[in-house]
Amino acid sequence: MLKLFADAAKVLPYNFNIMPKVKIYPHEEICPDGAIIEVNDDETICEAALRNNIRIEHACEMSCACTTCHVIVRKGFESLEEASETEEDLLDKAWGLEQTSRLSCQAKLNSEDLEIELPKYNINQVSENH
């Protein structure tokens, strides 16, 4: 039986064990050297980053009620499922909003890799400094 699976794996067009990756561009405080992380099934970008000790802020504990986990998707944005209305409404309040902004605690990868940038500030830092 195991041989059958091993043979099937050789001829299947896809390797189902390959996990999508997120390339995180360097951010002075959170990820100075940048990083490439793998994302498990059903894991959000934020969860994968935290699991890899990249401390994306997540003030509402990933319940889609703040914007501190805002990221800008630089590559692969179209591969993500659409943002919910709640996420879209929150994103309007995010510092440095762009067309390809997402809340990382809500965005889950499909099979495609992503490249993301962490904004220089989040809404908490902006309000603390003003």
Size of interface with ligand FES, in residues (CB under 6 A): 11
123 near ligand FES (CB under 6 A)? no
Nearer to ligand FES, 7 or 88 (CB): 88
Task: Please give the residues from 63 up to 102 whose contact with ligand FES meets the rule CB under 6 A.
Answer: 64-66, 68-69
Binding mask 39-58 for ligand FES (x = CB under 6 A): -------------------x
All residues at 6 or more sequence positions from 117 whose CB lies less than 8 Å from its CB, including other chains: 24, 25, 27, 71, 72, 74
All residues at 6 or more sequence positions from 94 whose CB lies less than 8 Å from its CB, including other chains: 67, 70, 101, 103, 119, 122, 123
**CA distance linking residue 82 with residue 87, whole number of Å:** 10
Return residues touching ligand FES (CB under 6 A).
58-60, 62, 64-66, 68-69, 103, 105
